[in-house]
Amino acid sequence: MQNANTELIENARKKFAQFRELSDRYGAEKAWETMLEGFPELQRERMGPLLGMPTLAEGFRAAITYFNAVGMNMEVVDISNRNIDAALEIQRVCPWLEVCLEYGFDIPCHVICEMDMEASHRAFPEMKGEILCRQAFGAPVCIFRYERPSKPETGAAPVP
């Protein structure tokens, strides 16, 4: 478990360092777009099998083992309603809060979570995502909301 967490932190360090370098060289907007190049395809590869499950909640629950292995303590709540397949992803631990400071960022959200959300949206345009609260802003947890249309005949989500 510690090795997975160490690898996660090292990957975050690389991402923060790259964003810092690109921002200093080209500005934050160009850095953002540069770092997103190829990321939606990676998100599609990583998340596609999970999102192919009947509901978002089932897909995100399948990822709990991974997130918990890297120390994030994840829970998923199915909030599907009114022909919308929806889930809340709740993270009790943000492993990037301290790492971002090493690279001159006050919060990790833009470089990590917002970029993940944007890549996911580009990879799965039918799915909406939103960050509802953030530990970086003083909340006790980070909460992400995801939704997409349900399949009319079963109430389950369409397969991406």
Helix, coil or strand: residue 119: helix
Q: Can you tell me the distance from the alpha carbon of 69 to that of 101, in angstroms, rounded to the nearest whole number?
A: 24
Where does the pLDDT of residue 4 fall: very low under 50, low under 70, confident under 90, or very high at 90 and above? low
pLDDT, greater one: 133 or 6: 133
Q: Which amino acid, one-letter code, is at 116?
A: D
pLDDT digits (tens, 9 = 90+) for 105-154: 999 999 999 999 999 999 999 999 999 999 999 999 999 999 999 976 54
Q: What is the pLDDT of residue 3?
A: 56
What is the percent of the chain with per-residue pLDDT over 90, rounded to a whole number? 81
Range 27-51 average pLDDT = 96
Q: What is the pLDDT of residue 93?
A: 94
Q: What residues does 91 pair with on adjacent strands?
A: 74, 142
Q: What is the mean pLDDT of the chain?
A: 91
Q: What's the pTM value of the predicted model, to 2 decimals? A: 0.88
Domains of the chain: 2-149 (3.30.1380.20)
* Cα–Cα nearest to 59, from 81, 78, 84: 78
Query: What residue spans of 37-114 are helical by DSSP H?
Result: 39-51, 56-61, 64-69, 99-102
